[in-house]
Amino acid sequence: MRYFVAVAEELHFGRAARRLHISQPPLSRAIKQLEADVGALLFTRSPTGVTLTAVGAVLLDEARALLDHADRVRVRVGAAAGAATLTVGILGDGTDPGVSRLAAAFRRTHPGIDIRIRDTDLTDPTCGLRTGLVDVALTRAPFDETALTVRTLRADPVGVVVRADDPLSRYDRLRLAELDDRRWFQFPQGTDPVWQSYWNGGAPREGPVVRAVQECLHAVLWNGTVGMAPLGHDLPAELAVVPLVDMAPSRVVAVCNEGDTNPLIRSFIEIAAAAYRR
């Protein structure tokens, strides 16, 4: 139903997929399954987008009411059970020692809290925070910080990832200007422009579109594409990372919505700051 509402409001599968931070094929399959369940077409498709059918318009009103009710039920049942949950979005390396220390410290401080983890791809640096999919995010800056509260946890130097047999891999360090003739990773259309610009070294680039870290690594391995990554991450033997001397560090940050007064979220951010200082 959430997928259906997104398509109905955007009237475009591509925009709805970007809003939901998923790829388009599973979204299309979900809508087709919903149409099969309903027994009628919900959208009229065209090359420029979609329009709601009469059946789709009726379902949209019902779907919105159903989702609102589901949210109220979740809150009331959780309150009655005395249960509390926190949904955390994580972008990046889940094996980071900082994450492990944070998890252990948070469990000690809040043993009764149910933590839900949403592991996200590279297309949304807020991990679904703006769309309400998560309560707080562990991610990397920079990105558009409008209406968000951002706490820096650590700053990591970055380097350029190349194939081990690439002549650039023999350098001890590089400058961005030495990469001007190379193809770079690109994120899908609609990705935060501040985020895209940083990972392209602040200049317009051309290259393959990627969504996940593994896609980045395969783009280097198969096509000789270059891209940036924080130093210190383990890479396959076929790849190498060379430090960039004229790039600002990549900041690991904890992020929540501006003005959020949930004490659990505030506690999470404070515990994260202490865990990453070690």
Q: Is the pLDDT of residue 246 over 80?
A: yes
Let me know the angle formed at the C-alpha of 228 by 226 and 231, rounded to the nearest 5 degrees: 130
CATH number of 83-154+251-277: 3.40.190.10
State the chain's mean pLDDT as an integer: 89
Q: Percentage of the chain surpassing pLDDT 70? A: 94
99 touches 117 (CB < 8 A):
no
Question: What are the backbone dihedrals phi and psi of residue 87, each rounded to the nearest 5 degrees, phi first?
Answer: -100, 120
Residue 94 binned pLDDT confidence (cut-offs 50, 70, 90): low
Average pLDDT value for residue range 229-249: 91
Q: For the whole model, what pTM was predicted?
A: 0.70
205-to-156, 180, 243, 246, 248 alpha-carbon distances in Å: 23, 8, 19, 17, 18
Q: What is the pLDDT of residue 121?
A: 83
Q: At what angle do helices 263-277 and 97-109 cross, to 10 degrees?
A: 130
From 64-68, 150-154, 177-181, 223-227, the region with the lowest mean pLDDT: 64-68
Residue whose C-alpha is closest to residue 229's, from 209, 201, 191? 201
pLDDT at 75 over 80: no
Does the pLDDT of residue 248 top 90, yes or no?
yes
Quick check: do 83-154+251-277 and 158-248 share a fold?
yes
Domain locations along the chain: 2-80, 83-154+251-277, 158-248
Radius of gyration of the CA atoms of the chain, in A:
21
Mean pLDDT confidence for 161-185: 95
Q: Which CATH code of 1.10.287.610, 3.60.9.10, 2.60.120.260, 1.10.10.10 fits the domain covering 2-80?
A: 1.10.10.10
Superfamily of domain 158-248: Periplasmic binding protein-like II (3.40.190.10)
pLDDT for residue 132 is more than 80: yes
**Assigned token pair, 116:** 């839900």
Tokens of 8: 């109905």
Average pLDDT for 155-183: 95
